[in-house]
Amino acid sequence: MSDRNASPAGSSARLLRGDFSRCEHVEGLEVQVTSAVAAEMSLLLTDLVGAGRQRRLSHARHIAAYLGRVVGGVPIARMASYLGREESTFTRRVLKLEEKLAQDAALRETIARLDASLQA
């Protein structure tokens, strides 16, 4: 896995800053990332964009938002909107996910698998 997960503090700063005026390239990337996460976690895409609030669904949504941001430069606001969620909540949860990556090997492996499949 690349070093973009190495420093949660540095990646937090990257998450919250940036010029998103040139985000035309992300059109449809929300669907691609969310579909990959749904498949990896044995969920349906409709579950992730639906109203369900189960922990498993929320976790998958946060992973999708994280991957959208680091793999494709999709703003958290755009992923939150696509998934029908609140931007501020998503931002906080993605920051927490980054912290958890430093301690959770299984999560790092899942993210690495998804990252590789999205970049293939």
Question: Smallest Cα–Cα separation from 118: which of 56, 57, 73, 62?
Answer: 73
What is the identity of the amino acid at 4? Answer: R
pLDDT score at 119: 87
Position 69 pLDDT exceeds 50: yes
pLDDT score at 27: 61
In degrees, rounded to 5, the angle at the alpha carbon of residue 88 between the alpha carbons of residues 30 and 20 is 50
Q: For residue range 75-104, list pLDDT tens digits in order.
A: 999 999 999 999 999 999 999 999 999 999
Query: In which residue are the tokens 């609030």 written?
Result: 53
Give 48-103 as a 3 state SS string: HCCCCCCHHHHHHHHHHHHHHHHHHCCCHHHHHHHCCCCHHHHHHHHHHHHHHHCC
Position 17 pLDDT exceeds 70: no
Which CATH number covers residue 51? 1.10.1750.10
User: Which residue segment(s) compose the domain that 57 sits in?
Assistant: 27-119
Residue 55 covered by a domain: yes
